[in-house]
């Protein structure tokens, strides 16, 4: 894969990287991208819905981050029941 050195530039109070127009076109990047941090580096991918994640995708991302931090309860999907269903009413 061809590499290119990009300069980090000041953008308001933040800093950013300008992507070449050919990359934006080639990878079908719109107004938003999804940025993922990996041990190998940063990955960018197109955001298919304007950058907003679904509730399910957000929960999965949060669980993955918790697992990465070593949270022993990160694999729990939630509490199966609150216990109230076993009470006589």
Map out the domains of the chain as residue ranges. Answer: 8-77
CA-based nearest residue to 23, from 41, 53, 48, 3: 3
State how far the Cα of 13 lies from the Cα of 84, in Å rounded to an integer: 51
Q: Which residues 6+ apart lie within 8 Å of 71 measured at CB?
A: none
State how far the Cα of 35 lies from the Cα of 48, in Å rounded to an integer: 13
* Percentage above 70 pLDDT, the chain: 73
pTM of the model: 0.49
Q: Is the pLDDT of residue 6 over 90?
A: yes
Q: Is the pLDDT of residue 9 over 80?
A: yes
């Amino acid at each position: 894969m061809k590499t290119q050195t990009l300069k980090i530039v000041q953008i308001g109070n933040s800093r950013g990287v300008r992507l070449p127009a050919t990359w934006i076109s080639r990878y079908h990047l719109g107004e938003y991208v999804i940025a993922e941090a990996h041990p190998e580096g940063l990955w960018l991918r197109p955001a298919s819905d304007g950058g907003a994640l679904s509730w399910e995708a957000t929960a999965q991302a949060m669980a993955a981050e918790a697992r990465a931090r070593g949270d022993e309860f990160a694999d729990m999907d939630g509490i199966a029941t609150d216990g109230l269903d076993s009470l006589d009413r």
